[in-house]
Structure 1
Amino acid sequence: MPVDEQPADEQPTRRRPVIGVLAVQGDVREHVAALNACGAEPRLVRRPQELEGLDGLVVPGGESTTIDRLSRIFGLHEPVRRLIAEGLPVYGSCAGMIQLADEILDGHAEQQTFGGIDMTVRRNAFGRQVDSFETGLQIRGLPQDGRPFPAVFIRAPWVERLGEDVEVLAEVEGHPVAVRQGRLLATSFHPEVTGDHRVHALFVELCSG
């Protein structure tokens, strides 16, 4: 046997990336399940010390003003901002997209974001809870296999301004609803509630690089 070959049962196993889920509010459990299904090791993050050693972080959907307020109360706001600036991969869905935006419209007067993506988003742009909807999207960078992605929009934001380094992955009614800037990924919809894990698989790949 050549020196550089090993039997299949002796091949080294690939380390599962440790991906935090900001667990102060929102659909945390659904993101944890999706990450597990994609081969990651999820970790609930409620304290600054739980950010240590992460390969990536998910900011879930929920209520963006509540996520902002509790993140600051629990001392997470500045550490997350610092990790984003240092290049940690971060994915935000719905409220998480708002939290990753450098600027928000229709936010509360004192609302802050983690920032990182050079974009302006408008809160609740698609309407209120009763205006929630699902639509099939073709999302750039995902394996398509002829299947549109089942995107669920619930009080969702949309993007009104993009910096030149931000890549648009999907649009609805001419508005970007999935974007990427480097190792930062954001969607205005909720892939974690659909059972389709292709968006999470893309993020796990970003965290594994």
Structure 2
Amino acid sequence: MKVGVLALQGAVAEHIRLLEAAGAEGVVIKKIEQLSDIDGIVIPGGESTTIGKLMRRYGFIDALRDFSGQGKPLFGTCAGLIVLAKEIEGQEEAHLGLMDIKVARNAFGRQRESFETDLAIKGIDEHVRAVFIRAPLIEEVRDGVEVLAVYNDEIVAARQGHLLAASFHPELTDDHRMHAYFIDMIHQTK
């Protein structure tokens, strides 16, 4: 199984490492033509406005919407979550607009308010170490969206069919279970 990591910004090598630890072949995705060769894709963290601009510049908006339309799974972490969302608080236009959630950017504060915690995640037996860096928050989930994790009564991970989103950075730990969860999602769609 080949799983891509969108390589426009963010911790690409770290996601590749954990995808491979979870049993998939990780592929760095820099061109839309590469999407036809993969079974799922991770959209990593970074700065969501910058990622959105680069996606528009290189044709990834329509290409990833088509990819999703084929039922192929997408996993957005931190800024990647924002990129997947249908609604972004205080912003007129969504990026991909695929996942029926409303998100708030930088909801957990500035860089100095970054933190780590152990999270219970639905579908994963033991707690997962979660790294929050200027993290977004899922303010609302709508029909068909399943909440997978909360922190201080706030939603930090969710799934909608073939779409997975996390406010945190699972790639910044040695725990590959979130990536294994995503790979299991890909197996379910095949």
TMscore range, shorter length: over 0.9
- Whole-Å Cα distance in 2 between the matches of residues 45 and 105 of structure 1? 29
- Whole-Å Cα distance in 2 between the matches of residues 167 and 112 of structure 1? 20
Q: Is the CA contact (8 Å cut-off) linking 2:85 and 2:94 kept in structure 1?
A: no
Which residue, 33, 55, 66 being the options, matches 2:17? 33
Could you tell me which amino acid in structure 2 is paired with residue 60 of structure 1?
P
Q: Is the CA contact (8 Å cut-off) linking 1:22 and 1:59 kept in structure 2?
A: yes
Which residue, 107, 120, 127 being the options, matches 1:138? 120
TM-aligned CA deviation for residue 86 of structure 1: 2.4
TM-aligned CA deviation for residue 53 of structure 1: 2.6
Paired residue for 1:94? 78
- Whole-Å Cα distance in 1 between the matches of residues 107 and 34 of structure 2? 33
- Whole-Å Cα distance in 2 between the matches of residues 74 and 52 of structure 1? 16
The percentage of counterpart residues that share the same residue type is 48
Paired residue for 2:153? 174
Could you tell me which amino acid in structure 2 is paired with residue 50 of structure 1?
Q
TM-aligned CA deviation for residue 205 of structure 1: 1.1
TM-score using structure 2 length: 0.95
1:52 is paired with a residue whose SS is: helix
Paired residue for 1:49? 33
* Cα shift readout 1:87-141 (whole Å, capped 9, x = no counterpart): 110101000110111110144x6x5411221000000000010110111111001
TM-score using structure 1 length: 0.87
Which residue, 69, 80, 99 being the options, matches 2:53? 69
- Whole-Å Cα distance in 2 between the matches of residues 106 and 121 of structure 1? 10
- Whole-Å Cα distance in 2 between the matches of residues 180 and 195 of structure 1? 22
What does 1:3-14 correspond to in 2, within 5 Å? Answer: none
TM-aligned CA deviation for residue 164 of structure 1: 1.9
- Whole-Å Cα distance in 1 between the matches of residues 129 and 22 of structure 2? 18
Which contiguous aligned blocks of 4+ residues in structure 1 show a shift greater than 3 angstroms?
A: none
Q: Is the CA contact (8 Å cut-off) linking 1:63 and 1:95 kept in structure 2?
A: yes
* Cα shift readout 1:45-95 (whole Å, capped 9, x = no counterpart): 111101113110100011111111111111111110121122110101000
Q: Does 1:21 pair with 2:1?
A: no
2:186 is paired with a residue whose SS is: helix
Aligned residues between the structures: 188
Which residue, 182, 192, 200 being the options, matches 2:179? 200
TM-aligned CA deviation for residue 208 of structure 1: 2.1
Unpaired segments of 5 or more residues in structure 2?
none
Unpaired segments of 5 or more residues in structure 1?
1-16
Q: Does 1:58 pair with 2:57?
A: no
